[in-house]
Amino acid sequence: MRLLGAALTSLVAVSLAAAQSPKKDPAKDESKPAAQTETKKVKTERIPVEGAKQAEPKAAKSNQPQKGEKPEKISKEIADSYNVIPLAERIAIQSDLIWTGDYNGMLTGEFGERAVAAVKAFQKRKGGKETGVLNLQERAALTAAAKPKQETVGWRIVDDLSTGARVGIPGKLMPNTNVSGGISRWSSQRGETSAETFRIAGATALGSIFERMKKEPAGRQAEYSVLKDDFFVISGQQNLKRFYVRAQLRGNEVRGLTVLYDQAMQGIMEPVVVAMSSAYAAFPTGRASAPPPRRTVEYGSGVAVASGIIATSRDALDGCYVVTIAGIGGADRVAEDKEKGIVLLRVFGADLKPVALADAAKPADMTLLGVLDPQAQGGGAAVSSAKARLSDALTLDPAPALGFDGAAALDAQGKLAGLVALKVPVVAGAAPSLNASAALTPVDAVRALLAAQNIAPAGATAGADAAKGSVVRVICVRK
């Protein structure tokens, strides 16, 4: 509660700044959150989307052409200037423009008329030349203007493993995370604010879902709604709270986000909901673009296999600037096997009991020991266990939760039969799979890597309960 109170106090500045920004017109902005609706009249539109895979909210009045005025086409020079900028940086610019109140569109990295108009609006407000392309000084000024607002609410982008979507979450306003029943939910301590993802399989059209969500759950009253061929937006009143729903259809699946907040927080939540709507990507890897960037801090698991030596997944440590073992400290890389995907780490001063290594046999039934990812799964520091069955293709079914990459796979005697290689799915196609996949990296590969470094296995701990003392959380920190 103290955290929420501090965040609300500091967010007054954000709401005041938002109040000074040009008001957005719901009739011209299908991404409009509930907090910005000024009319009680229910507005329903069906607007065909011609040739667009993903609809994009229309820009705020501040960067929209006036009535009767044709949109200004961007020049080839401006287009070329943005084409050479890496995708991640283009998305970052759009995100910053949202937080400064200049842009009200999706975070796609595509700089068309709307995004360029937002850049010009920022340049004009700062007294610069309206070129539509930021120079180094202007880019720094944009970051400086947006960063305090993002830090105030604890803004972060998370990959939702429940639905496969990517979601922007104000972590200081919604510090609690709960994942269960295929739903991810973020909320404040007392429920003043919350966000929840949802997924509906077997859908062929949005109309019936759209109409149902305008009325359900009980007490919901839609005040603004827009329906298109592949997505819809609904906002309004839900009992004593304001609500905002955004959903998108691809193939036969609908993914969406619902945001709820107390009416008393309307001024604070207005800019936050705009940012959440814009950042929400229902099918983030379905676009023909670069894969999403790896998280700045990522969590995996590892297991002690010799004195001071921990084996873990190489993929979990890809691009790490610093590797830390929870409760122990920094770890040094000793060796790696790129083909098998294994890394050996060395730690000092740790009282770890190495696990006993199994023979070459690959048992069908296995016990997996790992530490859940606290960002995506809400897990604590304790070692968790899961059951899995091994196929002839070395696939583990079912796949364990996020955080188990590099976890220990034990045989019936509690000896290490191998490491878990957890793969997060690349979502593509009409009916994507939402489950992560997992495979076994056999213990032979671990034994061979140890031998190549003249490290003798020193494991004597056998049994699933005893082996929990050999399993650790591995933390990767990227620049």
> Please, are residues 297 and 476 in contact by the beta-carbon 8 Å criterion?
yes
b/e map of 163-200 (b: 16 or more CB within 10 Å)?
bbbbbbbbbbbbbebebeeeebbbbbeeebbbbbbbbb
CA 53 from chain centre, in angstroms, equals 21
> Please, are residues 116 and 235 in contact by the beta-carbon 8 Å criterion?
no
Distance, CA of 303 to CA of 334 (rounded, Å): 15
CA 180 from chain centre, in angstroms, equals 17
Distance, CA of 133 to CA of 371 (rounded, Å): 45
**Domains along the sequence of the chain with CATH:** 2-279 (3.40.1000.10), 297-477 (2.40.10.120)
Strand locations in 74-210, DSSP E? 155-159, 166-170, 176-180, 183-187, 193-201
| Selection from 356, 343, 366, 337 nearest residue 416 by Cα | 356
Distance, CA of 68 to CA of 81 (rounded, Å): 29
CA 163 from chain centre, in angstroms, equals 11
Amino acid in the structure at residue 138: E
Distance, CA of 269 to CA of 266 (rounded, Å): 5
Distance, CA of 277 to CA of 31 (rounded, Å): 7
Distance, CA of 95 to CA of 403 (rounded, Å): 28
Tokens of 147: 């960063």
pLDDT in tens, the chain (479 residues): 444 444 434 443 434 344 344 434 333 344 444 333 333 444 433 322 323 333 333 333 334 444 444 445 788 888 888 888 888 788 889 989 999 989 888 888 889 999 999 999 999 999 999 999 999 899 999 999 999 998 999 998 888 877 888 899 999 999 988 877 667 889 998 999 999 999 998 887 899 999 999 999 999 999 999 999 899 999 999 999 999 999 999 988 999 999 999 999 988 898 899 899 988 999 886 443 334 456 678 889 999 999 899 999 988 887 787 899 998 999 998 998 988 899 999 998 788 889 999 887 778 899 999 998 887 655 678 899 999 998 877 888 888 888 899 999 999 889 999 999 987 643 333 333 344 678 999 999 999 999 999 998 876 666 788 889 899 999 998 76
Distance, CA of 217 to CA of 176 (rounded, Å): 23
**What is residue 139's three-state secondary structure?**
helix
Does a cis peptide bond (omega within 30 degrees of 0) precede residue 71? no
Query: What is the 3-class SS of 384-429, one letter each residue?
Result: EEEEEEECCCCEEECCCCCCCCCCEEECCCCCEEEEEEEECCCCCC
Q: What is the DSSP track for 63-89? A: GSPPTT-PPPPPPHHHHHHHHTS-HHH
Q: What pTM value is reported for the model?
A: 0.49
| Selection from 366, 359, 357 nearest residue 462 by Cα | 357
Tokens of 454: 């003249």
